[in-house]
Amino acid sequence: MVMMTVQIRLTEDHVKKIDMLVKKGNYPSRSEAIRDSVRKMIDENFRHRRLK
């Protein structure tokens, strides 16, 4: 799968919390943490739309 680059702006607090998740070993990188969050958000939104 080809990945596209997307620039986003996050609050300092959000970045620090993402970094904590990476440091704890939950994710290998900031990028993967953000990709996982986006995947979950998309899945949840599309699942809700199918149910309605």
Phi and psi at 45, nearest 5°, equal -65, -40
DSSP structural state of residue 25: T
For 1-6, the CB contacts below 8 A with 24+ separation are: none
Q: Is residue 18 packed enough to be buried (19+ CB in 10 Å), middle (13-18) or exposed (0-12)?
A: buried
Contact partners, residue 26, CB within 8 Å, separation at least 6: 33
Q: Please state the pTM of the whole predicted model.
A: 0.83
User: What does DSSP assign to residue 16?
Assistant: H
Predicted local distance difference test score (pLDDT) of residue 52: 54
Q: What is the pLDDT of residues 32-47, one digit of tens each?
A: 999 999 999 999 998 8
